[in-house]
A and B are shown apart, each in its own frame.
Chain A
């Protein structure tokens, strides 16, 4: 099962998204929050993200959903640190909440990492009022 990591500047946001997105999945053990700094402050921490990716991986790869600003840079740093670990990781170019819900639904269906990423990125063009 593809793991999913939620990166946000806020620990509460990341945990809240995990809570919401996990409703789409029967097994929520592979959706991990990586929000905020280790001291509880607002920000992103590549080492926390790296640890979350390692925790989320079960061998099928990990999709990362990230919020604004430094979260992408921090996620990219974490992925660089994981080079050589054998863990396949991709960042979805998608809105963090909607993308996470789509990714979780796809992951629960047993799809591949690329398919989970594609599902998350489809959320980018989804109209709420159409």
Chain B
């Protein structure tokens, strides 16, 4: 993967900002109707503060994490912020990442989100998109698939995972107040995670 970490983060941010209405609508159904607004605010600030000429992936992720922590406002701030800070640690000083490195980054991201949110798979959270995506990605890398195919496998699993969240009951976060009424609605965090992964794929593919 080439290093233009700003462009990659910009793609993620732009996708989140473009989909702010969609994410907020998902959150209106089972939460407090602010996920899209919060995430767009956070990424707007990230794009404003991130130095565009920065080549150090670790430094860029650290900056992104700190801004998300402070500017998002909802639970997704500490969750995505911690995910970025943990990813930053394993990317410190790096200006490029290999497909193999992607597995390490995924592991750091998942560990960060679990540390902060104390959630496990199957609780209708972003982890239900991210963990299967990580597994599908790692399996494709281990099988020697080209990076594009690895990222396709990642996005496919993330999409399935995000869809799966609609079929289960929330036990974490604001949606857990709704109990069984949360069933039938997709988790907004899983949806924003999918958008982020699709944006990473589109960056790597140069699309």
Contacts and interface: CB of A to CB of B under 8 A. Distances in A.
Interface of A: 9, 37-38, 41-48, 69-70, 73-74, 76-77
B78 A37 contact: no
A45 B79 CA distance: 12
Interface stretch (B64-72, B120-128, B157-165, B195-203): B64-72
A76 B34 CA distance: 22
A47 B69 contact: yes
B89 interface: no
B41 interface: yes
Given A73-B116, A76-B116, A77-B69, A46 B78 contact: yes
Contacts of B75: 69-70, 73
Contact of B74 (A38, A47, A70, A76): A70
Question: Size range of the interface on B?
Answer: 20 to 34
A47 B73 CA distance: 11
Contacts of B70: 37-38, 45-48
A77 B74 contact: no
A77 B116 contact: yes
B69 A43 contact: no
A77 B81 contact: yes
